[in-house]
Amino acid sequence: MKTPREVAIEAAQESGKVLLKLLEKDIKFQMKNTVDIQAEGDLQSEKIILNIIKQHFPDHSFLSEEMGEELRKSEYLWIIDPIDGTINFSRKIEEFCISIALSHKGVLVLGLIYQPILNKLYVAEKSRGSFLNGEKLSVSTESDLINCLAATDNSSKLETRAENFKILYKICSQVRHIRIFGSAALHLAKLAEGKLDFYYKTRFNYWDYAAGIIIIQEAGGKVSDFAGNLISVDSKDIIASNGLVHTHALQAINKTEL
């Protein structure tokens, strides 16, 4: 019997093959709202991932971006984003990925982020470390906020987008630079890799972040909400960091003045 890690890797890689094939032609998509889209690849990727996981773990529960919830009497929940960075995918920009996580009794035990264009596979298991293509990951050692490379994301909800950029305005003079790549999961993967120092976002979806949370934690970083509480499926905002700048980043984000 395959382990959850082996099944998640198989599902991500099989989905990745299909997404790379789709990139060879025009990307078909439909509008979710005035600014957000659902690509044909979202649905195909999700179908592949769910089919493979269900073959091995048919009694588990699922939370996936396109399908929604499929709950059973199980202590295990798979959290899936079939394409994180769909707009990038639709424009054939490399910053998109597949995100798969598994929780047991509400605790994340497995996280996987796969960037198919670059064949980059990030995997973490609870208490076993984080790895990129088999090489162990560690967060950065930067301890001064002013030297940090920070990151955030856009939002398809315009009110949330404005709220997020108000925070960006507050912190922009306190860090070295800001990056916005267009994929929440890849931001977290880059943070675990030591390429970014902290990341924040208001109003997020759990499937965007679940895999990245455990990958960062197992790489030595820290993840919380803006109040400093542990992240859960019900959290409303998120900050992830190398741990060394977490308190200072929280203070900067929570400052009341602009």
Q: What is the pLDDT of residues 124-142, one digit of tens each?
A: 999 999 999 999 999 999 9
Q: What is the pLDDT of residue 188?
A: 98
- Yes or no: say if 243 and 142 are a contact pair by the CB < 8 Å rule: no
Instruction: Kindly list the strands in the beta sheet with 149-151, ordered across the sheet, starting from the edge strand earlier in the chain.
Output: 177-179, 149-151, 198-202, 237-241, 222-224
Q: Write out pLDDT tens, residues 232-245.
A: 888 999 999 999 99
Reported confidence tier of residue 255, pLDDT bands at 50, 70, 90: confident
Q: How is 96-112 classified by DSSP, letter by letter?
A: -EEEEEEEETTEEEEEE
3-state DSSP assignment of residue 2 = coil
- Examine the pLDDT at 89 and tell me if it is beyond 50: yes
Q: What is the pLDDT of residue 87?
A: 85
SS (H, E, C) 1-48: CCCHHHHHHHHHHHHHHHHHHHCCCCCCEEECCCCCEEEHHHHHHHHH
Reported confidence tier of residue 203, pLDDT bands at 50, 70, 90: confident
Residue 82 φ/ψ, nearest 5 degrees = -65, -30
Taking the C-alpha atoms of residue 235 and residue 225, their distance in angstroms, rounded to an integer, is: 7
Identify the H or E element spanning 46: helix 40-56
Q: What is the pLDDT of residue 37?
A: 46
Q: What is the pLDDT of residue 44?
A: 87
Chain-wide mean pLDDT for the chain?
91
How many Å is the Cα radius of gyration of the chain?
Answer: 17
> Tokens for 226?
């803006």
Query: Which range among 28-32, 82-86, 114-118, 206-210 shows the weakest confidence by mean pLDDT?
Result: 28-32
Going by the DSSP 8-state scheme, the letter that residue 145 receives in this structure is G
Q: What is the pLDDT of residue 32?
A: 57
Q: What is the pLDDT of residue 30?
A: 58
Q: Among the ranges 86-90, 221-225, 254-258, which has the highest mean pLDDT value?
A: 221-225
> Tokens for 135?
């090489």
Alpha helix locations (H) across 92-157?
A: none
Taking the C-alpha atoms of residue 242 and residue 217, their distance in angstroms, rounded to an integer, is: 9
Reported confidence tier of residue 36, pLDDT bands at 50, 70, 90: low
Q: What is the pLDDT of residue 27?
A: 61
> Tokens for 122?
């990030």
> What is the pLDDT averaged over residues 133-152?
98
Q: What is the pLDDT of residue 29?
A: 59
Q: What is the pLDDT of residue 205?
A: 87
- Yes or no: say if 144 and 150 are a contact pair by the CB < 8 Å rule: no
Reported confidence tier of residue 4, pLDDT bands at 50, 70, 90: very high
> What is the pLDDT averaged over residues 7-20?
96
> Tokens for 219?
């790489």
Reported confidence tier of residue 41, pLDDT bands at 50, 70, 90: confident
Residue 143 φ/ψ, nearest 5 degrees = -120, -5
- Yes or no: say if 213 and 240 are a contact pair by the CB < 8 Å rule: yes
Q: Across the chain, which distance is largest between two alpha carbons, in Å?
A: 56
Hey, what domains does the chain have and what are their CATH numbers?
4-136 (3.30.540.10), 145-254 (3.40.190.80)
